[in-house]
């Protein structure tokens, strides 16, 4: 399902059920991790829907028929830390993907993104790139990561988030209208501390148990 602001919101009953577990303040660290993994697997199917395939022959026990392979390499880029929580759930479907890393911490007082690490492969220009982060709040972290990826040559970019809000979607769509945006839900708004409401709290703290 696409929204007027250009985000693709995945619509699936299993996703809705998993989202209530993820949001629940009483879900333990273990349950939160398992649930985020499952959500990442579902989102991977939606985020890769546009990937091109190339026809290849495949030999079955009976005959030769037409099969398919992905035309381009795939690079998954988690925004550290919380983005790491989406990688394991995507890998069963994208087992040959390269994993790159971008480290960005949101300043707790200003909510502005502070980059602290990047490890990006030289294959970015020819790859399908999935930038992953559970939370799209002000959009500052995602826009900073997208700037870095484009400066390194990436052009086929999909941002995959779990909880987004209108402020973050507008920020990304304005600065990066060419980037596909796939999310599980769009929440109501940001509160005075720039946390998403109703949201799920601090995704990194909940995933890592800190
Ligand atoms: C969180 C989240 C996003 C960012 C979203 O990370 O994982 O990266 O905030 O907020 P924004 O859209 O306003 O930039 P945080 O900086 O708290 O770091 P962490 O992943 O290490 O917990
Ligand atoms: N980062 C989070 O982890 N949660 C929010 O609600 C906003 C930013």
CB of residue 82 inside a 6 A radius of ligand 1: yes
Give me the domain span that covers residue 36: 8-52+70-208
Query: Of 45, 110, 174, 178, which one is the catalytic site residue?
Result: 110
Total domains in the chain come to 1
The answer for residues whose C-beta is within 8 angstroms of residue 19's C-beta and 6 or more apart is: 39, 162, 184, 185
Q: Which residue, chain included where needed, has tokens 């660290």? A: 29
Spatial separation of the C-alpha atoms in residues 83 and 81, rounded to whole Å: 6
The mean pLDDT value of the chain amounts to 97
Q: Residue 43 falls within a domain, yes or no?
A: yes
Residue 197 confidence (pLDDT): 98
Residue 3 confidence (pLDDT): 77
Q: What is the average pLDDT across 107-131?
A: 97
Question: Does the pLDDT of residue 86 top 80, yes or no?
Answer: yes
pLDDT category of residue 78 using cuts at 50, 70 and 90: very high
Q: Residue 62 falls within a domain, yes or no?
A: no
Pocket of ligand 2, candidates 196, 201, 204, 206: which has the most ligand atoms within 8 Å of its Cβ, to mutate? 196
Answer yes or no: pTM beyond 0.85: yes
Residue 5 confidence (pLDDT): 80
CB of residue 168 inside a 6 A radius of ligand 1: yes
Query: Of 33, 106, 180, 206, which one is the catalytic site residue?
Result: 106
State in Å: Cα 202 to ligand 2 middle: 5
Q: Residue 186 falls within a domain, yes or no?
A: yes
Residue 127 confidence (pLDDT): 98
Q: Residue 59 falls within a domain, yes or no?
A: no
**pLDDT tens digits along 17-73:** 999 999 999 999 999 999 999 999 999 999 999 999 999 999 999 999 999 999 999
CATH number of the domain bearing residue 82: 3.40.50.2020
3-class SS of residue 51:
coil
Share of the chain above pLDDT 90, in %: 97
Q: Residue 143 falls within a domain, yes or no?
A: yes
Spatial separation of the C-alpha atoms in residues 58 and 47, rounded to whole Å: 26
Residue 21 confidence (pLDDT): 98
pLDDT category of residue 196 using cuts at 50, 70 and 90: very high
Annotated catalytic residue 11: no
CB of residue 113 inside a 6 A radius of ligand 1: yes
Query: Of 11, 24, 88, 205, which one is the catalytic site residue?
Result: 205
Q: Residue 204 falls within a domain, yes or no?
A: yes
Annotated catalytic residue 23: no
Residue 54 confidence (pLDDT): 98
């Amino acid at each position: 399902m696409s929204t007027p602001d250009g985000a693709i919101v995945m619509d699936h009953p299993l996703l809705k059920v998993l989202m209530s577990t993820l949001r629940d303040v009483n879900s333990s660290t273990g349950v939160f991790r398992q649930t985020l993994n499952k959500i990442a697997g579902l989102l991977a199917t939606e985020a890769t829907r546009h990937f091109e395939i190339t026809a290849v022959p495949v030999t079955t026990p009976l005959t030769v028929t037409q099969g398919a392979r992905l035309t381009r390499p795939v690079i998954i880029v988690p925004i550290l830390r919380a983005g790491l929580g989406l990688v394991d759930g995507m890998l069963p479907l994208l087992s040959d993907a390269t994993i790159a890393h971008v480290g960005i911490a949101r300043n707790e007082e200003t909510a502005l993104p502070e980059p602290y690490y990047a490890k990006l492969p030289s294959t970015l220009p020819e790859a399908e790139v999935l930038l992953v982060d559970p939370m799209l709040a002000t959009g500052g972290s995602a826009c900073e990561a997208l700037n870095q990826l484009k400066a390194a040559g990436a052009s086929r970019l999909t941002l995959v988030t779990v909880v987004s809000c209108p402020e973050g979607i507008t920020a990304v769509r304005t600065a990066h209208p060419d980037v596909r945006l796939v999310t599980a839900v769009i929440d109501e708004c940001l509160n005075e501390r720039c946390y998403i409401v109703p949201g799920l709290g601090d995704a990194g703290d909940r995933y890592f148990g800190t």
